[in-house]
Amino acid sequence: MNALEYVPVPAFEDNYIWVVSDGHHAVVVDPGEAAPVRACLAKRGWRLSAILLTHHHQDHVGGVADLLKGQAVPVYGPAGEAIAHVTQRLKNGDRVTIAKPALEFSVLDVPGHTSGHIAYFQAADPGGTPHVFCGDTLFACGCGRLFEGTPAQMLASLDALAALPGATQVHCAHEYTLSNIRFALACEPGNVELQAWRDKASELRARNQPTLPTTIAHERAVNPFLRSDSPAVHATLQEQLHEKIFDRLTAFTLMREWKNRFR
């Protein structure tokens, strides 16, 4: 089988619209705008075969209507959110099978950023590598804001993503890595892997390269929101916020609130 290409198409200020292709056909994930997707497809001679949506925010769905002009392709989206043009409504455990490119996903419910947010997990590409498209749930070194969900929901969603195989390539929907790393270092200044990642990510951004995809194993090591049981993180929160941390949900909740006001 042919290898697949996973292309992050930059959109707006800091979004990535992921395009997956076998060299002929392509699926697009969260097309917040159509023009950059059309340009990517035209440049490579790829034909759109399906659209996958993770949640209802405009910067993820705004380009759907335009992309459907002149062609009818299936549009997959969360069952728990009302999104125009969705033809297949998905919930936890559902499978998505696409013929061209040959892709198979299982669906994970990952509420927290929005209440119906889903992620698409591909257990193995033709080379055996797993991939996940997680929208605005998990970011490199961070997680999405809680617009519609509770901290407990988001923590459970991040736990589900963190339980995926370590080699899973994580395709996030925004380039937030450098500012997330600044916050992560405030949480865990002594994390050596995190320090190394700051240097690497700064270098990539200086050359205008994406810092994505990241991997689940890497996020477990450097992402404070996947490390809410870390004694180092608890110590920082106690010192910074003068709160006594007894459990990971409290730590996660305090960390998410601190990040909201962190500059």
Quote the least distance from Cβ 113 to Zn ion, whole Å: 6
Q: Is there a catalytic annotation at residue 56?
A: no
- The response to whether 60 counts as a known ligand-binding position is yes
Does residue 59 interact with Fe ion by CB under 5 A? yes
The answer to whether 18 touches 9, Cβ cutoff 8 Å, is: yes
Cα gap 135→60, rounded to integer Å? 8
Catalytic residue among 25, 30, 56, 59: 59
Beta carbon nearer to Zn ion, 57 or 198: 57
Quote the least distance from Cβ 256 to Fe ion, whole Å: 16
The answer to whether 117 touches 147, Cβ cutoff 8 Å, is: no
- The response to whether 113 counts as a known ligand-binding position is yes
Quote the least distance from Cβ 110 to Zn ion, whole Å: 12
Catalytic residue among 60, 117, 131, 171: 60
Cα angle, residue 195 at apex, residues 192 and 196 outer, rounded to 5°: 90
Beta carbon nearer to Zn ion, 125 or 136: 136
- The response to whether 24 counts as a known ligand-binding position is no
Q: Is there a catalytic annotation at residue 136?
A: yes
Catalytic residue among 57, 117, 131, 234: 57
Q: Is there a catalytic annotation at residue 22?
A: no
Which residues are near Zn ion by CB under 5 A? Answer: 57, 136
Beta carbon nearer to Fe ion, 59 or 219: 59
Quote the least distance from Cβ 136 to Fe ion, whole Å: 4
Cα gap 19→40, rounded to integer Å? 9
Per CB under 5 A, residues contacting Fe ion are 59, 136
Annotated binding residues, written as ranges, equal: 55, 57, 59-60, 113, 136, 174
| Binding-site annotation: residue ranges for Zn(2+) | 55, 57, 59-60, 113, 136, 174
